[in-house]
A = this chain, B = another copy of it.
């Protein structure tokens, strides 16, 4: 039988600046090159760019979609497996839970929720041009990367 695949989540803005999109595409490509499956929210922006990168490198791409069908939430064109959940924003939790590790690129509040849920579930999370957060008296040390290569390398080390 074939061995079980590692799943790596890429979360980020549904818009994304050109820089973020370029990072996402590189990250997606590097994830696929290392043999992992790309998991993402299946929509636009960073999600499209990451899926494009992964697919261009021959990898499998899975979108955990917010809507119950393609009419409600059309998967971007680089999603090979669209899992329609109908759970809308609750699907952010699913992405965090199903991923073996997460890379966050840019992002809005949805991305912040995915980062927080990932950390809450003790998943390795690497931030790339993304959120920074701190709380009085509680030092927060989430790994930050400056390049796509660094992000993927750091994540792989954390995933073990």
Instruction: Classify the interface of chain A: helix, strand, loop or mixed.
Output: mixed
When all copies of this chain in the complex are counted, the total is: 4
Interfacial residues of chain A within 46-92, with CB under 8 A of chain B in the complex: 52, 55, 60, 62, 68, 75, 77-90, 92
Which residue in B3, B55, B109 is a CB contact (below 8 Å) of A119?
B109
Which residue in B2, B81, B85 is a CB contact (below 8 Å) of A55?
B2
A113 close to B117 (CB less than 8 A): yes
B131 close to A133 (CB less than 8 A): yes
Q: Which residue of B lies closest to A131 (CB)?
A: B135
Distance in angstroms between the alpha carbons of A131 and B4 in the assembled complex: 32
* A133: chain B residues within 8 A (beta carbon): 112, 131-134
* A137: chain B residues within 8 A (beta carbon): 17
Q: Is A7 located at the chain interface by the 8 A CB criterion?
A: yes
Tell me the smallest distance from the CB of A110 to a CB of chain B, in Å. Answer: 5
- Partner-B contacts on A (CB < 8 A): 1-5, 7, 17, 37, 52, 55, 60, 62, 68, 75, 77-90, 92-94, 97-98, 106-110, 112-113, 115-117, 119-121, 129-138
